[in-house]
């Protein structure tokens, strides 16, 4: 019987390691409230095109997790993502990550955590939220919650290529 427990633990251990750290997800309203505290920042990890053309939270820094490749019509990883975050923020800062609907921002938060940022969060509904019955992103998200957003690009928050 003891061997069965050890075997089960050996099977589960790789899954636990691969799943990464447990990152807390916030609603857009919870994130907005947290951003009032000093040392707390919002990082928009969508592509530059999404940030500019779809809009973004007024206080969001643009640091793409991926770049849009027009020729290939696909996203490509930003190989400098962690370094880009490290240049802008201290590891003691609280970072809240946002993307379109929550998937990329969760990956970004996990990468930041692995790089030594201990206070990281994900906005589970993202900027645009989930799709409604017609396939439009009208359910939840920062934009649909009445929180402040803009299409204007503040040079202090814009992505800086190195």
- Give the domain range for residue 103: 22-150
16 in a structural domain: no
What pLDDT score was predicted for residue 159? Answer: 96
For residue 135, the number of C-alpha atoms closer than 13 Å in the C-beta half-sphere is: 0
DSSP state for residue 119 in the 8-state scheme = E
Average of per-residue pLDDT across 130-156: 92
7 in a structural domain: no
Instruction: Give 31-53 pLDDT, tens digit per residue.
Output: 999 999 999 999 999 999 999 99
Task: Specify the number of domains making up the chain.
Answer: 1
121 in a structural domain: yes
What pLDDT score was predicted for residue 55? Answer: 97
CA–CA distance, 4 with 11 (Å, rounded to integer): 11
83 in a structural domain: yes
Q: Cβ contacts of residue 57 below 8 Å, gap of 6+? A: 42, 44, 98, 127, 142, 147, 148, 149
Does 6 score more than 60 pLDDT?
A: no
Mean pLDDT across the chain: 88
Q: What is the pTM of this model?
A: 0.85
pLDDT band at 74 (very low <50, low <70, confident <90, very high): very high
The enclosing domain of 87 has a CATH number of 3.40.250.10
């Amino acid at each position: 019987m003891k061997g069965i427990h050890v075997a089960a633990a050996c099977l589960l251990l790789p899954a636990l390691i691969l799943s990464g750290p447990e990152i807390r997800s916030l609603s857009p309203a919870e994130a907005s409230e947290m951003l009032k505290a000093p040392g707390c920042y919002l990082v928009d990890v969508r592509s530059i095109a999404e940030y500019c053309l779809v809009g973004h939270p007024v206080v969001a820094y643009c640091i793409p997790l991926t770049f849009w490749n027009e020729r290939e019509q696909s996203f490509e990883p930003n190989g400098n993502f962690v370094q880009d975050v490290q240049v802008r923020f201290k590891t003691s800062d609280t970072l809240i990550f946002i993307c379109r609907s929550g998937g990329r921002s969760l990956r970004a938060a996990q990468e930041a955590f692995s790089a030594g940022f201990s206070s990281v969060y994900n906005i589970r509904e993202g900027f645009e939220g989930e799709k409604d019955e017609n396939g439009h992103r009208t359910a939840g998200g920062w934009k649909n919650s009445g929180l402040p957003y803009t299409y204007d690009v503040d040079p202090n928050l814009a992505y800086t290529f190195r």
